[in-house]
Structure 1
């Protein structure tokens, strides 16, 4: 019996349990759905997805089919063509991912077929790490301890790229992937492009583990140093599994390797939080200001544009926003600073910033984006205290002491063309704290 692999957020041959199950009984087919919601993605993310699918299609000798349409229609059609009674896919946990797989499962059942979900995008699937009473963790540090104690499986064996059986259909749109990528580039160009080939991503991971991870604990907050893994895009698209990273870290005993492991746990904590509280995708889990205290109107829109365009007059904020606009990526320390500035200096709702990151990040991951914004805003689970307000001047002095990062992204920094600070940080901090205390007293 032929099986079908439905490629989702697991675009890789290595460490892919669902793919291995599909190939376990011999030749199998594979399909990915280019669904209508992808048209709402940024051009840069669509371009990266198209290239990633092209690369995986090349690695499978052209056997991966890529078809337009709703996931249910695409998967059922491919299963009929392959005469596959069983479809294998990696389980998703985000609200949209769950809704999609439920729709596919129902359509396959109506057609006399079955969807089997195996594996997840995480080392430990959301919902697995719970307290003794069976409730989810709401604080990161005990979650981290329990996550480590729970442990994870070793990486799965690589799939056989020669085991794929090609589907022959006029509905296959893989020939258009180059054009889709080109359109995405024209609409929303970035430079440099993010790496999309699996073998190169694995090589870059191994180089990082062999090198910079040793100093990761000391250097990870320095945007002027190239000291981070740059794995976020690969993890977001499922081109590398977190379990693969953890297996390479396992023999190491450095502070850097342990801190890097904890960063992966932070990613999984947010996925677990969204799984248990799906309203967190748009709603604050903990209110911090009254609705009337958030800035609105034309002045708020102008402030947002200055922030978006990197024209606030605060060099670290502006450098980060320009890096994001030009590359589709931003250093994590700088992400925290620019987010704090938007929410606590400008007093704009975190959702506005989260939406802008969704439109501009290539490494956009829904759970990470929404919950990291809520962390900075003080509204999420185990959030940064609302009274923690990043001082952009102090952050610059501490983490970019020679101003190499800001000078790289703001060539006019020391010229009359660079704007004066748009606000008094000390005064805005005091106002925000006062409003927070007033709101807290009323709750």
Structure 2
């Protein structure tokens, strides 16, 4: 009886799973495997807790057949393949720089034993690298990419297999991961992260609830952190508990498919695919400026800058909407997208700190932290990424708060020191006689002054390039 291995990574589901279908078609039984990679585990925290929850759901969906091991994937997968006498190891094609390097090592290790790593499908509707312009070059600007992405199209979702002959009898481990007790402890030390339902069923339920309840108002309300009417699908997409093809297919059949809200939502999916494509073509852009136009930019470093960065991380900047977002990040492992832009702009343009400092902090805490979307989103704010000329964008944290949290509900939810200030007054405690009575900190910088300083530095950096 032949066995193939399905190595799960960013595809923790059974529906619309091309690699699973390929594994089923190549053998009598399929051994489902997940490897806790020490390189990706880091120091635990919210991401590991969330991933453990997803693995627990996947283990249940496989009837307990999921084998979970820890170590260098090249050695772990090779050992498992030898143990199960599996000739083929099936995976979803990876597109991140680390994932591609890891898979090269795994492939080389397997080939030494006469085994094969088989790549099928990707975590995206259109695999990174496939959308190119008429001359065969990749896109660096979103709008033409989005147009070409739509024209390229994507296949229908694959069917969920009926009966799956899972290989059993192999030693499995606790999906909670290595040192699960210490991992949970480290996460708790960072804050009581809000429990989020995980797994394929939870992802489908969340998507269909959004489709039925919140899609109609998405175009008007998507920038409102106080209303919390976004899809919250980013974490499910990160772990592959739902495939974007499934979302696009069901959305296309919805009565609201032709409306503005549906179009805006698809545009957000296109941004995710665009950033993955950028990272595929320019892997160095994960932690370095994509464009060199601001290579001469002066950034602040040293102890004083470090103190300001720490205030930003803890939500103690004195700017309510910034602090609300940073505290939500620590508490939930998530932050509303509009607030991500506001908090990122504050670090880069009010505190004059290079964007990777903030990108790393976000990835350390976000349960939906995706290196392509996160790091290129930071570059969009910093002016070093895919936009043609974003250098003059400096988000005003006060006006942004007043515009997108007009009644102050979001601020009061996350900054209890300002709970006594009614309505929009929560965004400007310095205007109220008792604004600071509960110990809320005063502003660590003057935004108006720092905006002018940011523009001056940008002008100098751009001038040095010319």
Q: Could you say whether these structures have the same fold, taking a TM-score greater than 0.5 normalized by the shorter chain as the test? A: yes
Q: Aligned partners of 1:343 and 1:7: how far apart in 2?
A: 36
Q: Report what 1:387 is aligned to.
A: 392
Q: Deviations over 1:210-256 (max 9, x none)?
A: 22111111100000112100011111111111111111111211211
Q: Deviations over 1:379-420 (max 9, x none)?
A: 012266111110111101110000000011011024421122
Which of these residues, 115, 118, 131, is aligned with residue 117 of structure 2? 115
Superposition pairs of residues 192-207 of structure 1, within 5 angstroms: 192-207=194-209
Q: Report what 2:137 is aligned to.
A: 135
Q: Report what 1:102 is aligned to.
A: 104
Q: Report what 2:410 is aligned to.
A: 405
Q: Deviations over 1:86-112 (max 9, x none)?
A: 111000010001011111111111101
Superposition pairs of residues 232-247 of structure 1, within 5 angstroms: 232-247=234-249
Q: Report what 1:67 is aligned to.
A: 69
| 1:185, distance to aligned residue in structure 2 (A) | 3.9
Unaligned runs of 5+ in 1: none
Q: Aligned partners of 1:383 and 1:167: how far apart in 2?
A: 56
| 1:31, distance to aligned residue in structure 2 (A) | 1.1
Q: Aligned partners of 2:415 and 2:228: how far apart in 1?
A: 18
When the two structures are superposed, what TM-score results if normalisation uses the length of structure 2?
A: 0.91
Distance 1:384 1:376, change over 3 A: farther
| 1:45, distance to aligned residue in structure 2 (A) | 0.9
1:84 matched to 2:80? The reply is no
Superposition pairs of residues 38-437 of structure 1, within 5 angstroms: 38-160=40-162, 162-169=164-171, 172-174=172-174, 177=177, 179=181, 182-183=184-185, 185-251=187-253, 252-287=257-292, 289=294, 293-382=298-387, 385-413=390-418, 414-416=435-437, 417-437=439-459
1:20 matched to 2:21? The reply is yes
Q: Aligned partners of 2:441 and 2:175: how far apart in 1?
A: 47
| 1:201, distance to aligned residue in structure 2 (A) | 1.7
Q: Aligned partners of 2:175 and 2:332: how far apart in 1?
A: 27
| 1:58, distance to aligned residue in structure 2 (A) | 1.2
Range with greater deviation from structure 2 (157-166 or 314-323): 157-166
When the two structures are superposed, what TM-score results if normalisation uses the length of structure 1?
A: 0.96
Range with greater deviation from structure 2 (75-84 or 107-116): 75-84
Q: RMSD in angstroms over aligned alpha carbons?
A: 1.7
* Alpha carbons 1:38, 1:46 under 8 Å: kept: no
Q: Deviations over 1:149-201 (max 9, x none)?
A: 100011111134642112423xx323664647644543444332222132122
